[in-house]
Structure 1
Amino acid sequence: MRADRAGPPRDATRRPDSMAVASFVLGLLGLLVLNVVLGPIAITLACLALRAGTSRRGRAYLGLGLGVADLLVLAALTAANSTVVWNFG
């Protein structure tokens, strides 16, 4: 006999939670490298996770904020160097 569980199936909550964590990690990584690519991906994943009803809302909001910060860092570096390409030194 299978006992019925209350609440959504396990896979239904796992996917939005994974998207929230992925947006946080990609947003954090985007501050260091490839911010022009990883920033928008982090923003998109965070929005999708929030829309799907993730239980990790804090991580999704952090991923959203870090994705926006990635684009702001890119804009500041572009304004400082007058080019999208930047380097240390």
Structure 2
Amino acid sequence: MNVPDTALRSPAARIPEPTPAAAPAARQADGMAVASFVLGLIGLLAMNLLLGPASIVLAALALHRGTSRPGRARLGLALGIADLAVLAWLVSADQTWSWSIG
């Protein structure tokens, strides 16, 4: 007699179906991870005082909410920290908070 695998499991052992409300939350966390990466990358070139901390916050939120792209969120976190390191280096080199290329 062939009994389906799902019939042998108890109701408590079944994996719950994802709720429709969980899908937008995961998609939102993935969007935060991508935004963190993009802001951190742009922040290396311009406006790193604003984009660095924004990248760090978005990466932390994406990791906290369980993104399916943790590598991208970690890279955004690293780029945000690098943004602030570049800013600190430029400020120490110029002795001013305002800087320009050239």
Q: What is the TM-score with the length of structure 2 in the denominator?
A: 0.79
- Percent of aligned pairs with the same amino acid: 58
Partner of 2:54: 41
Partner of 1:83: 96
Partners of 2:71 and 2:46 in 1: CA distance: 23
Unaligned stretches of 5+ residues in structure 2? 1-15
CA RMSD, 1 decimal = 1.3
Partner of 2:12: none
Alpha-carbon offset, residue 88 of structure 1: 1.9
Which of 6, 9, 18 aligns to 1:7? It is: 18
* 1:8-60 CA distance string (max 9 Å, x none): 53212101000000000000000011000000000000000000000100000
Is 2:35 the counterpart of 1:22? yes
Partners of 2:61 and 2:54 in 1: CA distance: 11
Alpha-carbon offset, residue 66 of structure 1: 0.2
One-letter identity of the residue aligned with 1:84: W
Q: What is the TM-score with the length of structure 1 in the denominator?
A: 0.90
Q: List structure 1 segments (4+ residues) > 4 angstroms apart after TM superposition.
A: none
Partners of 2:25 and 2:78 in 1: CA distance: 25
User: How many residues of Structure 1 are paired with residues of Structure 2 in the alignment?
Assistant: 85
Alpha-carbon offset, residue 6 of structure 1: 2.6
